[in-house]
Structure 1
Amino acid sequence: MATTTTKTKKAPPVPPPPPKPDELAQTALERRRQVRLGVGIFLILAGVFMCFSIISYFFSWMSDQDKLFGSSSMWSFVWDGTAQPVANWGGRFGAAVSHILVYKGAGIASLVVGMAIAALGLHVVYDSKVLPALRYIRWVSILLLLVAPTLTYLFPHSSFPLGGRLGSGAITYLNGFLGTAGTGMVLLATILFFVFVIFSLDIRPFMDRMRARAAAMAASVGPAPVFNEPEQTAEEAEPVPAGAEPAATMPVAEAAAPSVEEKQWEITLHEGAPEENDIQEPGEEPQEEENEEYLAYQKYLEEKETAALAARGPMAEAELEPEPAVGNGDEPEFSFEVIQQEEQPAITHGSHISIASNEPYAPELDLPDYRFPTLDLMEDRATEAISLDKEELEKNKTQIIQTLRSFGIEIQRISATVGPTVTLYEIVPAEGVRISKIRNLEDDIALNLSALGIRIIAPIPGRGTIGIEVPNTNKQIVSMRTLLGSDKFVNNKMSLPIALGKKIDNENYIVDLAAMPHLLMAGATGQGKSVGINAILVSLLYKKHPSQLKFVMVDPKKVELSIYRVIEKHFLAKLPNEEEAIITDTKKVINTLNALCIEMDNRYELLKEAGTRNIKEYNEKFISRKLNPERGHKYLPFIVLVVDEFADLIMTAGKEVEMPIARLAQLARAIGIHLIIATQRPSVNVITGTIKANFPARIAFKVSAKVDSRTILDTGGAEQLIGRGDMLISYGSELLRLQCAFVDTPEVEDVVNFIGRQRGYLSAFELPEYEGEDGEGAKEVDLSNRDKLFEDCARLVVQMQSGSTSNLQRRLNLGYNRAGRIMDQLEAAGIVGPAVGSKPREVYFKTEAELEGFLQSLD
């Protein structure tokens, strides 16, 4: 019997239960939240990265621009891993993005783009609505369209593209279409329009409040208009304060006083529109009462104005804006100055920069937070009065009288003037005594007094006496702090005041360097020459603002003036692209002196165009805004050239140094360039006749020989000085003996560090570029490797008919080296002529059509 086998079928796997709708929704929501969080974080980081790149572009654009333009394609430079590193914080990509947004876009306003992207990321992270994002986009568009042209309009000559290509293009078109004044009006009207529209500003409540306050104050000093009592209803009389009598029976002062409701209405006008929660429904009783109070108050004001017009007479009806009455016709009217002051806009820093401003230009506002050095930086050395032992005075007087009598010279009178280091004895000789006889006794008097440094002045100019200067046994230091704190220095009106020291009569000697106008200093080593230079420089630092004064310092010894390197961005001037502002190399000294000559020629051209004779008249004209900066006019600071060791320069460079020095000394006075030249060896081959003729002011410290004194002062006496700051100064027709003020090196360090810690300019004051005979202009130029902006620069010089390297830098935002190379290429191509000093190069093409044909032939 066959058996059958039955197979049991396996049950199919039970499928998992379908997810619940709530779980599906939760999963999808979580996935969207993760995506949103990732996108939001990415946008935030992108916005922050863009802001950092743009901020870095403000400082690194000059060094990165040539690298971006130097490549065949900007983006190929960005993705090239072997490309040169850039200075931008965002690397090559950040440099390219910020260059597009700032230089080719909207300038500084491009920061709004980065901030808007970051804000959009925040909205995405917090799952906000789309409306706020659109609102940010609207703000970005408005700011870009307004800020970029406004910055370009306010700063048309800025080397940095403040408004970018957007602002430059908009202002160029508007200036051509409406002119400069019309463009300013359009920008101002546009800004006001958006301010009032976006913020929904309404000036009517403000005007109503002013009118109500004026009416209340006028009513408090005069009778209020009488209401027509029989025609008033109970509702119309409600605004009268509770418990008060009707206006017809009230006293005048009480009727004129503002009611509680009036004061409450003034507060409502002042606070502006009510909030949404405070708005009442039309049917509610309080809202109707408020409307009735407002209507009654308006009626009250209208009747008050009508009464005021009636009191003034028939001619008052012709007035456009009737004023409220202030009493009867015999009483004067009052003006409310406080209200007018509230309507005036506040003046902020930087308003002097506006072209349309009527305020005088203030160069000090370039560094508005600059603080002048304080006196506590200087050491207080000598506060006591100068005194001398009476025994020493009597002894010296007796010795002088006995010495003169021994040679048969009688005197009528003798007096003494005590100074810090020297005492002046004045004698009146008897009749018949020859002055030359006394002058020849100089050495004999010094022998009897056992003193060095005796000098005889025979006679003293304008005094009618003969002077004998005798050094004191106990010499006192002249404190620089005392001179700087004196009234003569603090309250003087000099252009360049310098405090040199004290005279024999203990009078502070303060003189104007601009009136000298140049100063020649000489003295042996260790006699106070370097201290004298520091005294002059410290005096100027205490009195002048960085915008008013610049120093060009030449220090062949490399150690004397290096202490002033700290104030490079405040007070120093140098050649473009020079690393050190203190010049020590002889070749650089020659270039600097010739650059100063170019600066001098440029300034004379500005004075010629302005119709002025000197820097004082020119700056006064510029400050009063009578000169147009668009024509190259600018505020001219004083420039002081300081050369510490002139003999070393003459030995190494000779005529190459002497000729520009002589030219500056002859011509630079009127345009504010002044020279201070010091030397240890005042020999005739160093201080030549050409130099001496143009340095009327000279200072001599102790020298080793009489011939050196005659070389520097044209007279003897400097060899008889006692050293340690004892000096003779020849200025005008006087030859005075001074004790130089002492300023120690730590004091100078404190002063320059005090200045150096403050915010300065971006770089030192740049002198004009100068190329010597062996400069880049003499090198061969390969026209087959022309710059990418060669054609643009060629069109620019032809349009302006002026070949100037600085003009290319300013108009096309080029670096110094690149602009110089392009100008060399333009000269080699025959588009412009060779350099002719400070004047622009000649342009050989007169029309753009000729130029375009020539450029096509080059290809």
Structure 2
Amino acid sequence: MKKYFQREFHYDFLLLEFIIANNLYSEKNGLESAILSYEERSEEIVIYGVKYGDRFATKLETLETEMSALLNLPLTEKIIREGIVEYHFQTVKPERLVIETSTEMEKHTNKIEINLGYGIVYSPVECPHILVSGGTGSGKSVFISYLLLEFFKRKSTVYICDPKNSDLGSLSHYLGEEKVATSPNNIARVVRLAVTEMNDRYKYMNENFKYGSNAIDHGFQPVWLIFDEMGAFQASGTDKKSKEIVNEVMNGLKQIILLGRQANVFILIAAQQMRSETLSTDLRDNLGLRIALGANSSEGYRMVFGSATPETIPPIEVKGSGLLYKQGTGKSGEYYESPYVDMQKFDFIEELKKYI
């Protein structure tokens, strides 16, 4: 973990300086001032603005830009409560995960959690399904390749739908055409396989009922359906027959999103840009991990994160960086750097062969 650069002043002095510089005081009717306090924690500092219903109360809720500049620290969270506003600033920079060739001793793991680097550990059981958005050059393909290896490392069954027949579609040479689909009919077949597996698991678990159990307790390994460029697939519905196929696939995906968690069946949806017609907001909100890589517009972030879109977007300058939202944390989308892979030194196909 790395320390961010900080100005060498005591926080008491900084907050006093801040109140003066931002006109958060008045001397007209005696001295009136906004009240600021702070709490230093192991990896963050929290600035509190106390609201008394006076003329400073509204201003205290909109100071994130000024406070970030004052402290020279990134804001990770703003919490507005009835009588107080909390500004959380990170004082320790998380480390980006660097991917290198594994050894035979690291071939498989029984761990459910996946280390995504930058202080993020992801558990599909606790936070099912993934959405990854990012345009050309954002690092989206490298990130999905990393996740694919992690899925296989956990002995997952992986199905791939790639309507553009790009890099993921070419993996049929290694995974087999029965699990990798590029045409609409084959995509429908693959989705049907995943839905059938999910339903069979529910049937088995009902016949071998254990209160509070899930598929893991019954020995079922994860199933992952990776669906790249869903918008391109939906655009293939140009006549009655093809629209029926699109509708069947979308219905299957909906079943997995809503019911897959307990059966240990998950979906990863990837898109260059998310639109409401691509995936309804109700279904999007059921995708527990959402990542937008690369710089995006305010509307683009809103389509990925919805109500979890942060008010202030940090600079997205590093390739493979973006915003990440994980359900259950109580936080909005926060700055994130995806695992770094030097593709000149890392042979993805050779690595893949170790796990399949």
Same fold (TM over 0.5): yes
Q: Give the secondary structure class of the aligned counterpart of 2:217.
A: helix
Residue number in structure 1 paired with 2:251:
659
Conserved? CA contact 1:554–1:589, under 8 Å: yes
Question: Offset at 1:643?
Answer: 1.7
TM-score by length of 2: 0.71
- 2:312 aligned with 1:728, yes or no? no
Residue number in structure 1 paired with 2:343:
746
1:586-605 to structure 2, matched below 5 A, reads 586-605=184-203
The 2-side partners of 1:652 and 1:561 are apart by 19
User: Unaligned 5+ residue runs, structure 1?
Assistant: 1-384, 503-507, 576-580, 620-635, 761-859
Q: Give the secondary structure class of the aligned counterpart of 1:537.
A: helix
Residue number in structure 1 paired with 2:290:
698
Deviations for 1:390-431, whole angstroms, at most 9, x for unmatched residues?
448889x95995377424164543467798xxxx65212256
Compared CA separation, residues 707 and 391, structure 1 to 2 (3 A): same
The 2-side partners of 1:457 and 1:677 are apart by 26
Conserved? CA contact 1:411–1:427, under 8 Å: no
Match of 2:279 among 687, 693, 717: 687
Match of 2:158 among 513, 531, 551: 551
Deviations for 1:524-572, whole angstroms, at most 9, x for unmatched residues?
5444433432343333344x2xxx311112233433435755752xxxx
The 2-side partners of 1:587 and 1:437 are apart by 57
1:346-361 to structure 2, matched below 5 A, reads none
Rg comparison, structure with higher value = 1
Question: Offset at 1:661?
Answer: 0.7
Question: Offset at 1:517?
Answer: 1.7
The 1-side partners of 2:22 and 2:133 are apart by 38
Deviations for 1:69-114, whole angstroms, at most 9, x for unmatched residues?
xxxxxxxxxxxxxxxxxxxxxxxxxxxxxxxxxxxxxxxxxxxxxx
Deviations for 1:677-704, whole angstroms, at most 9, x for unmatched residues?
1222222112203422532443344553
Aligned partner letter, 1:500: L
Q: Give the secondary structure class of the aligned counterpart of 1:720.
A: coil
The 2-side partners of 1:700 and 1:681 are apart by 9
Deviations for 1:439-484, whole angstroms, at most 9, x for unmatched residues?
33445667x67x9x965733289xx762255899xx88612359x9
Residue number in structure 2 paired with 1:429:
49
- 2:136 aligned with 1:518, yes or no? no
Residue number in structure 2 paired with 1:538:
149
Question: Offset at 1:586?
Answer: 3.2
The 2-side partners of 1:719 and 1:657 are apart by 36
Q: Which has the higher helix share?
A: 1
Residue number in structure 2 paired with 1:312:
none
Give the percent of matched residue pairs that are identical in Structure 1 and Structure 2. 16
Conserved? CA contact 2:132–2:269, under 8 Å: yes
Conserved? CA contact 2:149–2:352, under 8 Å: no
Aligned partner letter, 2:343: P
TM-score by length of 1: 0.33
Aligned partner letter, 1:402: F
Conserved? CA contact 1:718–1:728, under 8 Å: no
- 2:62 aligned with 1:440, yes or no? yes
Deviations for 1:330-381, whole angstroms, at most 9, x for unmatched residues?
xxxxxxxxxxxxxxxxxxxxxxxxxxxxxxxxxxxxxxxxxxxxxxxxxxxx
Q: Give the secondary structure class of the aligned counterpart of 1:558.
A: coil
The 2-side partners of 1:673 and 1:617 are apart by 14
Aligned partner letter, 1:689: T
Aligned partner letter, 1:643: F
Conserved? CA contact 1:639–1:672, under 8 Å: yes
Conserved? CA contact 1:477–1:742, under 8 Å: no
Conserved? CA contact 1:662–1:694, under 8 Å: no
Match of 1:615 among 215, 218, 236: 215
Conserved? CA contact 2:134–2:273, under 8 Å: yes
Compared CA separation, residues 718 and 553, structure 1 to 2 (3 A): farther
- 2:116 aligned with 1:500, yes or no? yes
Q: Give the secondary structure class of the aligned counterpart of 1:593.
A: helix
1:569-584 to structure 2, matched below 5 A, reads 575=178, 581-584=179-182
Residue number in structure 1 paired with 2:37:
413
1:303-318 to structure 2, matched below 5 A, reads none
Question: Offset at 1:672?
Answer: 2.0
Aligned partner letter, 1:664: I
Conserved? CA contact 2:129–2:289, under 8 Å: yes
The 2-side partners of 1:563 and 1:389 are apart by 45
Compared CA separation, residues 498 and 466, structure 1 to 2 (3 A): same
The 2-side partners of 1:392 and 1:398 are apart by 10
1:16-95 to structure 2, matched below 5 A, reads none
Compared CA separation, residues 609 and 386, structure 1 to 2 (3 A): same
Compared CA separation, residues 427 and 442, structure 1 to 2 (3 A): closer
Q: Give the secondary structure class of the aligned counterpart of 2:267.
A: strand
Compared CA separation, residues 444 and 617, structure 1 to 2 (3 A): closer
User: Unaligned 5+ residue runs, structure 2?
Assistant: 26-33, 238-245
Question: Offset at 1:639?
Answer: 0.9
Aligned partner letter, 1:515: E
Q: Give the secondary structure class of the aligned counterpart of 2:235.
A: helix
Count of aligned positions: 323
Conserved? CA contact 2:116–2:339, under 8 Å: no
Residue number in structure 2 paired with 1:388:
4
Conserved? CA contact 1:534–1:748, under 8 Å: no
The 1-side partners of 2:354 and 2:329 are apart by 43
The 2-side partners of 1:531 and 1:418 are apart by 32
Compared CA separation, residues 429 and 445, structure 1 to 2 (3 A): closer
